[in-house]
């Protein structure tokens, strides 16, 4: 096929352009190239200035002009080299680069003006070779404009022709402040994606109808509505208010998710890597962010009095709650932290973390890691005898409802008699405080696990000791704990679904692990003996809605939510207080003191001894029947043990 001369030329130009783009797409221009361009712009600025000044002159003194140009060039070269205006990568130029342009030219201006002042008394130098003040100011003003313009022009050329062309991502930024500007710069300078900022959102009335980076600042209602989102094809909302209140952030996120947007956020500056911000710091909103609450204010002095320079023991130390208690204890300078757990691998992980991670490793000399099981009383006595703990946080327990429903013997052995072992040893070795971690499933229990925790509460509360004060803390589910619903949903999402819920209407209370452990330490410090403290868990969360939000946050459209039916012993609603219990306030607004039924220690001892005698039979029905005798409000649901309940209790 014969090509015309014009077609051949166009083809060669196209090939050259493609080759040029491929070669320089990822290779920044040489810094010396930029330096030379800056000098050429200075010559242009000087020429324009003198052309304007001398347009009416009949004679041009070329030697004088060349000497002046030489002076301008020498000074500019010196300050450009010192300040480093040429060192930046032009495609990523920002405010700091503009600042360097301004400073270097300002310094050159000041030096030339000073030179003028010094040479004013020398008639030949002043008249022929010293630039006029207007000449100095006009030249460097033009040079600033030229240098900034060149950088913006090259940046736009790169963005338009050199960046790989990928589908645009239309974004709205919530927050027209400094963080919003930082997010804008990070997005627009990303070499791998074409981010288009459609609008800033800010609720401040004084910013209404203003602009930032040439982009309109709008009110929330004008942007976060179906019409605007659809018209502008916005797919992502970035919350750029690092210090935003949690409740406000959750409100914005929920509104955006309902509009089908993907939501990201700029984290607090304390979480930036090396105190600098990059695109990688803009994080996806996680489900934990939607369940989080404002941080708790603790009376640290109260906790310090409880544990400072004392030997503290934590059972179940490698678990979700126990490990966080250990982390938090390190900041209160106990003499020793005796960490006890029977799980070898999680204990190794905890040991490695605490010994190698700041700030925990500051307390490395106080850490003792013990592999032991709370149901092994001789071994636990040996640990008590060796370390003489003064404060005990008892977090060791079996907690999974379906497993314990199938294994009542093991649930009783660990949760009831394991707790009894630690409580008895605490009294025998004169510990000052014993704090037990309980659960909302102990209230009106419908399963074996909840009933065993209630039995442990009863035993702990019945102990009377002038030396050892017994305290129980009771709260609901914690976010991210081992085996909880959120990690399960994450695994199911990673596998492509479906997400499984046991019932569409099932609800649970949630609290973050650090928040729960904060309250455990605070409640333990305030308890005077025989107390059961319940925590303000906030509003209950519908698990089906939780699954829906996680699917929305993942950005995946076709993930199914499947109902699989209530598991044995599971109930729809958890409670924090039994129906006959009341609460009294404490000095901490999130901690309430429960007024519960009292048990005589002699009666409890008799019942627990009877239970112990049944244990060797391994007869689940006999064991659970005795449990129902000890805890009359224990009424099984969806379980083989429901046949043991009295008709009036069903």
Q: What is the pLDDT of residues 32-48, one digit of tens each?
A: 777 788 788 878 877 78
Three-state DSSP at 196 gives: strand
Which run of H or of E encompasses 439? strand 433-439
Dihedral sign computed on CA atoms, order 273, 276, 280, 283: positive
Mean pLDDT of the chain: 81
Higher pLDDT, 340 or 164: 340
| Token couple for 183 | 């997010």
Contacts of 573 (CB under 8 A, 6+ apart): 506, 507, 540
3-state secondary structure (DSSP) of residue 200: strand
Given a contact cutoff of 8 angstroms between Cβ atoms, the answer to whether 326 and 350 are in contact is: yes
Residues 6+ apart with CB under 8 A from 69: 43, 46
Alpha-carbon distance of 448 to 268, in angstroms, equals 44
DSSP string, 452-472: HHHHHHHHHHH---SS-EEEE
Q: How far is C-alpha 506 from the chain's CA centre?
A: 27
- Would you say the C-alpha torsion 572, 578, 583, 587 has a positive or negative sign? negative
Average the pLDDT over 562-569 and give the result. 84
Give CA 203 to chain center in angstroms. Answer: 24
Scanning 259-341, the segments in alpha helix (DSSP H) are: 287-291, 300-307, 320-329
Confidence class for position 14, pLDDT limits 50, 70, 90: low
CA distance 360 to 355: 7
Backbone angles phi, psi at 540, to 5 degrees: -65, 155
Query: Residues 233, 249: contact at Cβ < 8 Å?
Result: no
Nearest to 350 by CA among 375, 322, 374: 322
The whole-angstrom separation of Cα 407 and Cα 448 is 9
Q: Residue 613 has which token pair?
A: 């005698």
Q: What is the pLDDT of residue 373?
A: 96
Could you tell me how far CA 83 lies from the centroid of its own chain? 38
% of the chain exceeding 90 in pLDDT = 28
Flag whether pLDDT at 595 surpasses 70. Answer: yes
171 compared with 123, residue with greater pLDDT:
171
Long-range interactions of 115-122: CB distance < 8 A, separation 24+: 115/71
> Who contacts 6 (Cβ-Cβ below 8 Å, separation ≥6)?
none
Structural domains in the chain, CATH included, are 5-162 (no CATH), 169-285 (3.40.50.720), 306-484+506-539+567-599 (3.40.50.720)
Check the CA dihedral 403-405-409-412 and report its sign: positive
CA gyration radius, the chain? 36
* 481 alpha carbon, distance to own chain's centre: 16
- Residue 130 sits at φ, ψ, to 5 deg, of -95, 125
- For residue 518, pLDDT over 70 is answered with yes
Active site residue 491: no
Pairing, β 469-475 against β 477-479: unpaired
Per-residue pLDDT at 272 exceeds 60: no
Give dist(CA 500, CA 509) in Å, integer.
Answer: 18
Residue 275 banded pLDDT, cuts 50, 70, 90? very low
pLDDT at 127 over 70: no
- The distance of Cα 206 from the centroid of its chain, to the nearest Å, equals 31
Q: Which residue has the tokens 């200075």?
A: 42
- How far apart are the C-alpha atoms of 395 and 416, rounded to whole Å? 12
Which residue of the set 441, 571, 590, 626 is catalytic?
Answer: 441
pTM of the model: 0.70
Please determine, for residue 50, whether its predicted confidence score (pLDDT) is greater than 90: no
Contact of 182 with 248, CB cutoff 8 Å: no
Report the share of the chain in percent with pLDDT over 70. 81
pLDDT band at 148 (very low <50, low <70, confident <90, very high): confident
């Amino acid at each position: 096929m014969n090509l015309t001369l014009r077609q051949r030329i166009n083809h060669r130009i196209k090939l050259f352009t493609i080759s040029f783009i491929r070669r320089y797409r990822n290779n920044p221009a040489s810094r010396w190239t930029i330096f030379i361009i800056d000098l050429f712009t200075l010559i242009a600025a000087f020429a324009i200035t003198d052309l304007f000044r001398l347009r009416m002159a009949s004679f041009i003194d070329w030697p004088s002009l060349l000497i002046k140009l030489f002076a301008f060039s020498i000074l500019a070269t010196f300050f450009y080299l010192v300040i480093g205006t040429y060192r930046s990568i032009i495609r990523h130029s920002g405010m700091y680069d503009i600042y360097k342009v301004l400073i270097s030219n300002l310094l050159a201006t000041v030096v030339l003006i000073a030179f003028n002042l010094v040479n004013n008394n020398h008639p030949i130098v002043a008249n022929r070779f010293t630039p006029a003040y207007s000449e100095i100011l006009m030249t460097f003003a033009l040079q600033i404009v030229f240098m900034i313009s060149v950088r913006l022009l090259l940046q736009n050329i790169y963005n338009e022709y050199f960046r790989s062309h990928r589908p645009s991502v239309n974004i709205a930024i919530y927050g027209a402040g400094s963080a919003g500007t930082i997010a804008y710069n990070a997005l627009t300078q990303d070499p791998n994606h074409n981010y288009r900022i459609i609008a800033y959102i800010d609720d401040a009335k004084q910013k209404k109808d203003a602009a930032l980076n040439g982009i309109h600042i709008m009110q929330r209602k004008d942007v976060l509505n179906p019409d605007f989102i659809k018209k502008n094809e916005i797919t992502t909302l970035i919350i750029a208010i690092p210090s935003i209140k949690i409740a406000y952030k959750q409100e914005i996120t929920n509104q955006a998710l309902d509009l089908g947007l993907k939501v990201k956020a700029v984290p607090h500056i304390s979480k930036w890597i090396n105190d600098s911000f990059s695109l990688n710091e803009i994080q996806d909103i996680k489900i934990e962010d939607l369940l989080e609450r404002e941080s708790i204010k603790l009376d640290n002095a109260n906790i310090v009095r409880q544990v400072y320079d004392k030997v503290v023991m934590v059972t179940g130390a490698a678990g979700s709650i126990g490990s966080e208690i250990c982390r938090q204890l390190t900041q209160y300078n106990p003499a020793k932290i005796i960490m006890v757990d029977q799980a070898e691998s999680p204990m190794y992980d905890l040991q490695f973390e605490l010994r190698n991670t700041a700030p925990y490793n500051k307390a490395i000399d106080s850490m003792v890691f013990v592999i032991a099981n709370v149901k092994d009383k001789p071994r636990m006595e040996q640990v008590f005898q060796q370390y003489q703990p003064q404060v005990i946080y008892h977090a060791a327990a079996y907690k999974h409802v379906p497993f314990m429903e199938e294994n009542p013997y093991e649930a009783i052995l660990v949760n009831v008699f394991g707790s009894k072992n630690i409580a008895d040893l605490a009294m025998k070795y004169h510990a000052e405080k014993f704090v037990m971690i309980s659960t909302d499933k102990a209230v009106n229990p419908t399963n074996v696990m909840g009933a065993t925790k209630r039995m442990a509460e009863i035993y702990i509360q019945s102990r009377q000791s002038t030396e050892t004060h017994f305290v129980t803390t009771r709260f609901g589910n914690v976010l991210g704990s081992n085996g909880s619903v959120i990690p399960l949903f994450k695994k199911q999402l990673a596998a492509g679904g479906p997400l499984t819920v046991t019932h569409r209407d099932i609800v649970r209370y949630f609290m973050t692990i650090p928040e729960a452990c904060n309250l455990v330490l605070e409640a333990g410090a305030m308890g005077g003996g025989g107390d059961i403290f319940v925590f303000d868990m906030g509003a209950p969360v519908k698990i089906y809605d939780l699954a829906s939000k996680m699917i929305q946050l993942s950005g995946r459209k076709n993930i199914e939510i499947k109902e699989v039916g209530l598991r044995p012993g599971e109930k729809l609603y958890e409670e924090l207080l039994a129906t006959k219990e009341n609460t009294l306030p404490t000095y901490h607004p999130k901690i309430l003191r429960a007024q519960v039924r009292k048990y005589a220690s002699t009666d409890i001892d008799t019942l627990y001894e009877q239970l112990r005698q049944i244990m060797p039979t391994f007869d689940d029905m006999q064991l659970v029947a005795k449990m129902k005798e000890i805890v009359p409000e224990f009424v099984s649901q969806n379980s083989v043990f429901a046949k043991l309940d009295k008709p009036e209790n069903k």
